[in-house]
C-alpha cells in the first residue's frame, strides 16, 4: 500500500481480517541514511480495543481453540508463507531495521522453524488420566486461556514476534500483537504474509503498530488474560504491577548483560571472533549481546591486545554495502544515549581501550552509526557494568580464580545468558552449574534451538519461550473427576 500524498509505502494495521488506518500517522526512516522510506498508521487505544474485540469473537465463536488439526495445518502453512517471502522480508528488515544482510537473513530464518516446531507440539499435545481408586477417574485437560496480548520490540521484530505468536496459536489462543513503530513497514509485510496463510480464521491474529497505549490497553483489558512481552526490565516491572490488579499471567523476556568468561586455557583463536560477533551482531541491540568480558589474568594481556587491533577494523556501514560487518543503531537518539553512557563510564574511572563512538564524518554521518567500543574496568558495580547499554559497548574485567569469575558473572540483576570459554574437561560444566542464567553456551555464543527453552533468571524475566515450556504461558489446566464405578 502506498501513501497517495507522498508515493511512499504506507503501512496499516491488520485487524479482524482487514487493513485499518489510524487518525495519526508517522514516518518510517532508514537508520543508515536518515531518509524517509514510508509512512505508517500509528495505533493507540482505539485500535487496540477493536483488535481485542475481534480476537475475543474469534476465540468464543470459532473452532480455533478446539480444532487441533486446524491449528497444525495453519501453523505449517504460515511457516510456508514465511519461507516463500524470506528474501523480501530480509531485504526490508535491512532497510528499516539496519541489520546487515546476513543478520537480517538469520533473523527471518528463525520464523518458519519456530512455527513448525509449535505445529508439532500441537500434534503431540496430551493431557493425562488416572484411575486413582477403583471406579474413580481423574483427567487433566490443558485448555487455551483466551486472547493473548503480545508485545514485540524493534530490535528483532520478525523473530521475536513469531517466538511468542507461534506458541500462543499452538495453545489455541487468539492474539493481538503490538508491533513497534520503528519497524512499521516490516510489520505490514509480516501482516500480509500472515493474512495470506490458508485456513487462518479471521480475528485469530490481529497486528497493531502502536505506542505504549496499545500494550497498556492489553494489560488493563479483562478480555486479555495473558501477556507475552519482550522488552526492557523497567517496562516489564511496570506492566506486571499494572496487571496485578487482574492477576494477569505474564511471560516476560527482559533485559540482559551477558558475561563472557574467558579462562587462561581458552582457545583465543576460537574465542576472539565469537566475542566480536557477540558485541557487533545487531549493532549490540540484542538482549544476549556479549557486553561483559571477564578474563583470567593469564589470558588478559593477549586478549586485550587482539581486541584492541580487531575492533577498530570492524567495517561499520549500511546493509546496502555487502562489505559491511555491522549496521547502524536504530536511530540517532540511541547513538547519543549510548555515547552518554560511555562518557559517564570514562568519567567514573573506566579506561578506554578502544573508544569507538559516533561516526561524525563522511557519508555515514547521516546515519545512526556507532563504532565498537571497549572499556576496561576494575569495579563491577559501575553503571556501565550493571546496566544494559543496548549498543556495541564491551567492558573488560580481569579475574584470578574460578570462584571470582563466578562471583563477578553473578554480580548482576540480570540472568539471561552467559558464555564460558575453556579447554578444560570439567570446568565449563562446573562453572555453568554455578552461574545464574537461563542460557549458557560453552565455547560458543547465541546458539538457540526451538526444542530447548529460552528465558531469564532474576530480573531478566519469567516464564520460558521455545521448548516444551513455551505453551505454559498460554494454557490453563483443568482437572475433571469422574466416578463411573466398576463392572
- Cβ atoms of residues 224 and 144 within 8 Å: no
Side-chain half-sphere exposure of 76, counting CA atoms within 13 A: 11
**Which of the residues 287, 325, 388, 454 is marked catalytic?**
287
Residue with cell 530464518: 109
- Cβ atoms of residues 43 and 210 within 8 Å: yes
CB within 8 Å of 281: residues ≥ 6 apart = 103, 289, 446
**Grid coordinates standing for 96?**
528499516
**Which of the residues 253, 276, 388, 454 is marked catalytic?**
253
How far, in Å, CA of 80 to CA of 365, rounded? 40
The C-alpha angle with vertex 341 and arms to 336 and 345, in degrees rounded to 5, equals 145
How far, in Å, CA of 257 to CA of 106, rounded? 22
253: annotated active-site residue? yes
- Cβ atoms of residues 368 and 33 within 8 Å: no
How far, in Å, CA of 200 to CA of 142, rounded? 22
CB within 8 Å of 247: residues ≥ 6 apart = none
173: annotated active-site residue? no
Q: What is the DSSP letter of 77?
A: H
Residues with active-site annotation: 253, 287
Amino acid at each position: 500500500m502506498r501513501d497517495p500524498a507522498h508515493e511512499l509505502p504506507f503501512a496499516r494495521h491488520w485487524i479482524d481480517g482487514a487493513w485499518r488506518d489510524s487518525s495519526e500517522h508517522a514516518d518510517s526512516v532508514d537508520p543508515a541514511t536518515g531518509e524517509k522510506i514510508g509512512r505508517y498508521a500509528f495505533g493507540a487505544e482505539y485500535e487496540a480495543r477493536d483488535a481485542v474485540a475481534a480476537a475475543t469473537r474469534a476465540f468464543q465463536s470459532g473452532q480455533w481453540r478446539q480444532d487441533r488439526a486446524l491449528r497444525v495445518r495453519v501453523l505449517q502453512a504460515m511457516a510456508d508463507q514465511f519461507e516463500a517471502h524470506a528474501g523480501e522480508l530480509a531485504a526490508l528488515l535491512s532497510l528499516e531495521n539496519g541489520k546487515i544482510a546476513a543478520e537480517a537473513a538469520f533473523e527471518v530464518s528463525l520464523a518458519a522453524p519456530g512455527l513448525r516446531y509449535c505445529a508439532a507440539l500441537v500434534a503431540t499435545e496430551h493431557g493425562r488420566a488416572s484411575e486413582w481408586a477403583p471406579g474413580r477417574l481423574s483427567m487433566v485437560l490443558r485448555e487455551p486461556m483466551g486472547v493473548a496480548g503480545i508485545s514485540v520490540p524493534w530490535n528483532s521484530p520478525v523473530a521475536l514476534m513469531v517466538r511468542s505468536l507461534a506458541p500462543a496459536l499452538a495453545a489455541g489462543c487468539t492474539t493481538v500483537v503490538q508491533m513497534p513503530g520503528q519497524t512499521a513497514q516490516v510489520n505490514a509485510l509480516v501482516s500480509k504474509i500472515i493474512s495470506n496463510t490458508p485456513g487462518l480464521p479471521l480475528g485469530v491474529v490481529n497486528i497493531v503498530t502502536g505506542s505504549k497505549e496499545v500494550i497498556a490497553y492489553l494489560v488493563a483489558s479483562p478480555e486479555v488474560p495473558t501477556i507475552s512481552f519482550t522488552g526492557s526490565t523497567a517496562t516489564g516491572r511496570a506492566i506486571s504491577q499494572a496487571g496485578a490488579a487482574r492477576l494477569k499471567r505474564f511471560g516476560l523476556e527482559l533485559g540482559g548483560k551477558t558475561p563472557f568468561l574467558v579462562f587462561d586455557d581458552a582457545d583465543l583463536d576460537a574465542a576472539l571472533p565469537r566475542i566480536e560477533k557477540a558485541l557487533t551482531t545487531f549493532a549490540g541491540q540484542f538482549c544476549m549481546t556479549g557486553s561483559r568480558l571477564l578474563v583470567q589474568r593469564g589470558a588478559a594481556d593477549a586478549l586485550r591486545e587482539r581486541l584492541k587491533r580487531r575492533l577498530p577494523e570492524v567495517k561499520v556501514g549500511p546493509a546496502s554495502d555487502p562489505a559491511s560487518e555491522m549496521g547502524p543503531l536504530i536511530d540517532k537518539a540511541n547513538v547519543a544515549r549510548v555515547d552518554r553512557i560511555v562518557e559517564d563510564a570514562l568519567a567514573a574511572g573506566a579506561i578506554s581501550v578502544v573508544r569507538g563512538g559516533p561516526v561524525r564524518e563522511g557519508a555515514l554521518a547521516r546515519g545512526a552509526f556507532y563504532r565498537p567500543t571497549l572499556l576496561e574496568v576494575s569495579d563491577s558495580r559501575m553503571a556501565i557494568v550493571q546496566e544494559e547499554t543496548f549498543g556495541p559497548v564491551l567492558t573488560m574485567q580481569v579475574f584470578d580464580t574460578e570462584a571470582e569469575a563466578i562471583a563477578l558473572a553473578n554480580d548482576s540483576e540480570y540472568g539471561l545468558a552467559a558464555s564460558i570459554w575453556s579447554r578444560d574437561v570439567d570446568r565449563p560444566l562446573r562453572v555453568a552449574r554455578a552461574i545464574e542464567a537461563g542460557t549458557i553456551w560453552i565455547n560458543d555464543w547465541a546458539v538457540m534451538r526451538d526444542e530447548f527453552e529460552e528465558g531469564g533468571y532474576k530480573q531478566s524475566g519469567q516464564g520460558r519461550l521455545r521448548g516444551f515450556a513455551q505453551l505454559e504461558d498460554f494454557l490453563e489446566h483443568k482437572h475433571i473427576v469422574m466416578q463411573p464405578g466398576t463392572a
